[in-house]
Amino acid sequence: MKGISLSAGLAQYSAWRTQVQSAVAEYRDWLRTENLSDLQTHSQLEQILTTLRDDHIRVAFVAEFSRGKTELINAIFFGHLRRRILPSGIGRTTMCPTELLYDPDQPPSVRLLPIETRAQNTPMYDFRADVKAWREVKPNPDDPKQISQSLTHLTDILHVTPEQAKRLDLPVMDETGDESNQLGMVEIPRWRHALINLPHPLLEQGLVILDTPGLNAIGAEPDLTINQLGSAHAVVFILGTDTGVTKSDLELWKKHIYLDDHEANSKSRLAVLNKIDTLQDDLKQEQQIQLEIKSQVNRTAEILHLDPKNVFPLSAQQGLLGKAKGDAALYASSRVADLEQALASRIVPSKLEIVRSRIDSELGNILDSGNALLTKRLGDVDEHISDMQQLRAKNTEVVDHIMAKAQREKELLERNMQRFQSIRSIFTRQSNALFSSLSMDGLHREIAATKLLMSNCLTTLTIQRCINDFFASILRSIDQAIDQADEISSLCTKVYQEFEDEHGLGQVRPRPLNLGRYRQQVLRLERKHSDFKSTGRLFLREQMSITNRFYDTVGTVTKLIYMKAAKDASDWSKSLMLPLETQVREHHGQLRRRVESVKRIHNAADTVDERLEELELNKAGISDQRDEMRKLSDQVRLSLYNKPGTDQAENELRNSVAARNTKNSPPQTHSGEQSENVVLAVSTSTMRP
């Protein structure tokens, strides 16, 4: 996506999601029509479709005050409206964390959460569902002037006494370091959070814009702003060319934005040196100005430990004016387009890869087990046909031999099915232990106990110990869950292998459960909240304030981590044995029908030729089903690996698809191989426009 605009990149990503949705929905509908889907498989496919439908790309813009952050958002996203949509001017502008998105199920609106809700002992996350807690303004989405006027509320402030500010757990120092103004009042934001729902070309394609003020806002609403930054697929950190990296800028960067993972930083962390127009000087040559900009870029990259390619000098004001006036030269000189192209070329592919990897993992077992089921069904029919062909002479010894063979295999399978039920009970116990390690009840007890201990602490050292013990306990629980998941996976793999060896069932393996990412999230959470354990800081804070902030931030985020981990574990557990159970039921039914057929032939109730004719028709139907399933499966995989902006994905998938089909297919004649190639050609051609 090199050189592509952000709008074009998002449009391609949206088209890719739609393409995958269509292929998965077609596969789901076909399974249902052919009676090849069970409740669990249908539920898994619906969940995949929901993931694709509700997917968003979140970009956070973060800066200290007066860095031009809001002006940059206006320039990138609202310049086509030829006016400033978000309030932007000298001094403070946006006073609260703001989220811009589009939800077609809700009317266009500006929702504002009053600052007074801080007095309630309720985590910020819980207010999202409390409609009555918010103030709502509903502008006309077709009137840019009305939208702009409604958004001026983002700059609203209140003047309160220092005591009132303290009761809301807000800082009472103003920017000059004075505790209050001449009237003994302090200035605080009127709103805690703003949710803006507007129809916008980029927002409609799944983009979510997070406008996060500086350290003061993060300090006041840490659970909200840190959650926003943690969920962002890219963070744009705005600095002033005139100020460079200040002390507060660096503190904000190190504590809340910078990642330990160098590769993740290179993909998702971008720095902006805004206001390069202030370097213009009639007494300087253009070359000299460009050298100053380059020097500033290199210096900024060095301080922030970034590649200079991730630092973008620009002028947001010139970019907005260039778009508003339709002045292409002015917009080009602003260099805002460089940032837009970087967002398109980095975050869109990165986000696509995350979604693709997740869906591929979830779809893999569904597609492979479906193909293995029909392949096994064909193999059973072929074996049944072979039995019938041996019965043409109605030789008693042959009949007895075939009946005995089928009966032995049926009895062996039934014994293994009984043993499988015993293993199922072990699997259930291990799964319950896994769920217990990720229990929300257990987490709530741990949070409550930690909060109680912290509120009774008399020294900063004991508070530090409480926090350390909390994180250690959470990590132990996740480690236990990881070990339990590994044991379950090992048990299931062994069972799958035994049934494959003894009964020739299809080669389908249970997918692993990745809980390691949640462990990493807890470790990052601990590092981001290291200020709670800073002795120097703890002496300056009130004990109850520390306890409440810890509960609102760490407690809330940990709950979200546990909820996601528990859901992954539950979905994984439900689907783990499903492919094997489906194949065992199918194989048992086929064996039963084989025994019954031989009995009927032996008792002269049917003729061999009649039964062979039925089996050949059955085989043809199953073969057609398998070919159609492979076509639809390949179509899903090809759509999943299709690169946005390209016509097809054969180069990435043709070899893997062919290898998989060869692996899962019984030996075929030359004509069968030719038919397989036709199926692949049809499935790949469907991806071409």
Domains of the chain plus CATH, in order, are 56-334 (3.40.50.300), 363-685 (no CATH)
What Cα–Cα distance (Å) separates residue 119 from each residue in 124, 169, 179, 544? 11, 8, 21, 13
* pTM, two decimal places: 0.72
Residue-wise pLDDT for 298-319, tens only, equals 999 999 999 999 999 999 999 9
Contact present, 627 and 675 (Cβ < 8 Å): yes
pLDDT value at position 101? 93
Q: Mind spelling out the 3-state secondary structure of 140-175?
A: CCCCHHHHHHHHHHHHCEEEECHHHHHHCCCCCCCC
Rounded Cα distance between 401 and 210, Å, is 73
270 DSSP assignment: E
CA distance 663 to 507: 9
pLDDT 10s digits, 101-137: 999 888 999 999 999 988 887 777 778 778 899 999 9
- The answer to whether the beta carbons of residues 180 and 29 sit under 8 Å apart is no
For residue 244, the 8-state DSSP code is: B
pLDDT of amino acid 268: 84
The residue-averaged pLDDT of 474-496 equals: 88
Q: Token pair for residue 113? A: 């959460």
Amino acid letter, 84: R
Model confidence band, residue 254 (pLDDT cutoffs 50, 70, 90): confident
Q: Which long-range contacts (CB under 8 A, 24 or more apart) does 283-289 make?
A: none
pLDDT band at residue 646 using 50, 70 and 90 as cut-offs: low
Instruction: Work out the percent of the chain whose per-residue pLDDT is above 70.
Output: 79
- At 3, is the pLDDT very low, low, confident or very high (cuts 50, 70, 90)? low
Residue 681 has pLDDT above 50, yes or no: no
- Reported as type and span, the H/E element at residue 234 is strand 234-240
Instruction: Evaluate if residue 505 carries a pLDDT over 80.
Output: no
pLDDT digits (tens, 9 = 90+) for 321-333: 999 899 999 999 9
**209 pLDDT band (50/70/90 cuts)?**
very high
pLDDT at 558 over 50: yes
The mean predicted confidence, pLDDT, of the chain is 78
pLDDT band at 366 (very low <50, low <70, confident <90, very high): confident
Cα–Cα distance for residue pair 354/346, rounded to 1 Å: 12
Task: State both tokens at 371.
Answer: 């193909």
At a CB cut-off of 8 Å and minimum separation 6, what does 465 contact?
none
Instruction: Provide the CA 213 distance to its chain's centre, in angstroms.
Output: 25
Q: Pull the structure tokens for residue 50.
A: 């929901």
Q: C-alpha distances in angstroms, 502 versus 148, 412, 499? A: 71, 9, 5
pLDDT at 658: 42
Q: What is the pLDDT of residues 511-530, one digit of tens each?
A: 788 888 889 888 878 877 66
Q: Residues with Cβ < 8 Å from 538, sequence gap 6 or more? A: 460, 463, 464, 532, 546
- Of the pLDDT bands very low, low, confident and very high (cuts 50, 70, 90), residue 81 is confident
- Going by pLDDT thresholds of 50, 70 and 90, the confidence category of residue 687 is very low
Using DSSP, state whether 271 is helix, strand or coil: strand
Q: Name the pLDDT band for 651 (thresholds 50, 70, 90).
A: very low
pLDDT interval class at 606 (50, 70, 90): low
Which residue matches tokens 């508070």?
A: 463
pLDDT in tens, 173-184: 544 444 445 567
Distance between CA atoms of 480 and 468, rounded to whole angstroms?
18
